[in-house]
Amino acid sequence: MHDIFKNHIAKFAQVTDDEFEQIIKFFDIKKAAKKENLLEEGQICRHHYFVLEGLLRKFYINEKGTEQTTEFAIETWWLTDNFAYENQLATEFYIQAVEKSTLLCITPEKRQKLLEEFPVMERYFRFVYQRAYAAAQKRIKFLFSFSKEEFYFQAVRNHPEFIQRVPQYLIASYLGFTPEYLSEIRRRLLS
């Protein structure tokens, strides 16, 4: 399992095997059951999660009282409420395991010590945040440029394995659809 994280670091920063053995000690392994909430609205956000295996989602409860999914994370993706995590504030979000998941997690305190002892990890996290920011920008552009139906068709075209894996009601939540409306769109797509 640790090889997944080691290989991910290697994409952005060079660390020796010995350094990695020290780096990994800053992280805890967390097993999450399907539908387990790792973070709930009102809690202080104490962890940044790296998905070794499984699928997470981040959502909030909107003014209508329904869940609005804002992000997903599959293997080798990071997920947290960045603002609440960086500032150690209460979150407005939930983070939930969609599938049984195995995660690495790190607290802000441990991350700070990690960066002091292994400055090369500063480079790694910079790339992680840059990619996350770029993905968020692209998602916003898609939301403004495409109708929700077109946004769904883009997702099906660009990430078919992801769309197959995520339950349809959660994709509907992400797109702001009712599950029934998404079923109607899928019927049109298949016909």
* pLDDT: which is higher, 142 or 39: 39
Q: Averaged over 35-59, what is the pLDDT?
A: 97
pLDDT tens per residue, range 132-161: 888 888 878 777 777 777 878 877 888 888
Confidence of residue 191 (pLDDT cuts 50, 70, 90): low
* pLDDT: which is higher, 179 or 130: 130
pTM of the model: 0.90
* pLDDT on residue 97: 98
* pLDDT: which is higher, 151 or 47: 47
**184 pLDDT above the threshold of 70:** yes
CATH 3.90.25.10 fits 2-144, yes or no: no
Q: Do residues 155 and 163 touch, judged by C-beta distance below 8 A?
A: yes
List the domain boundaries for the chain. Answer: 2-144, 146-191
* pLDDT on residue 187: 80
What rounded mean pLDDT belongs to the chain? 91
* pLDDT on residue 83: 93
Burial category of 145 from C-beta neighbours within 10 Å (exposed 0-12, middle 13-18, buried 19 and up): exposed
